[in-house]
Chains A and B, each alone.
Chain A
Amino acid sequence: EDQVTQSPEALRLQEGESSSLNCSYTVSGLRGLFWYRQDPGKGPEFLFTLYSAGEEKEKERLKATLTKKESFLHITAPKPEDSATYLCAVLDSGGYQKVTFGTGTKLQVIP
């Protein structure tokens, strides 16, 4: 059974204080690892897809990296508008389109 574990559950940062969110995963065959951002009262919004170990993707202050067992979402010099819940998910290479989500990291960036 596929598993996705995110840590920490919550993170409070001062504006400009860089940090990383972790996503550990267990999957029989990885077809893709996704990062989503979710704001309160809204649906998750796609950020990145990573397909193989060593791959990196960047978008503004966010950079996602992937190893064979985990992914990190690095946040550089965060701003208050980066406050959200960040979700990690894995797509199994099995017979159907099964995406398993982690429970998320709630990030709060304080001015």
Chain B
Amino acid sequence: NAGVTQTPKFQVLKTGQSMTLQCAQDMNHNSMYWYRQDPGMGLRLIYYSASEGTTDKGEVPNGYNVSRLNKREFSLRLESAAPSQTSVYFCASSSFATNEKLFFGSGTQLSVL
């Protein structure tokens, strides 16, 4: 099992450009999440999807959109990137069967110039 797979691992954007971060999990988890991690701020929830077909805003959703494509895949889109979105992005998944512990991908380092 690959677990949670994120692509790309690194990305540099110019202000105003758009991009989509891809995430897939092969653990048959119901819930998927997007977090960003910034120095001194901890992990902050951007969006989550409690189950296939539903998405909800987290703590810091402005400037982002998400799509739960199917049970396995959950993508994060930046429509018009801003320097404030420079961060490390993590996708995660969980299920009631695993008592809600989160399984994380390896992260995407995004720089917006």
Contacts and interface: CB of A to CB of B under 8 A. Distances in A.
A64 to B, nearest CB: 13
B105 A46 contact: no
Given A97-B31, A97-B94, A103-B40, A44 B104 contact: yes
Interface in A4-56: 4, 31-32, 34, 36, 41-46, 49
A95 B62 CA distance: 22
Interface residues of A, number: 23
Given A96-B50, A96-B56, A97-B50, A103 B101 contact: no
Nearest to A45: B104
Interface SS of chain A = strand
B42 interface: yes
A89 to B, nearest CB: 8
26 contacts: A34-B101, A34-B102, A36-B102, A41-B106, A42-B106, A42-B107, A43-B4, A43-B92, A43-B104, A43-B105, A43-B107, A44-B102, A46-B101, A46-B103, A49-B100, A49-B101, A89-B102, A91-B100, A96-B48, A97-B48, A99-B45, A99-B102, A101-B44, A103-B40, A103-B41, A103-B42
Interface of A: 4, 31-32, 34, 36, 41-46, 49, 87, 89, 91, 96-99, 101-104
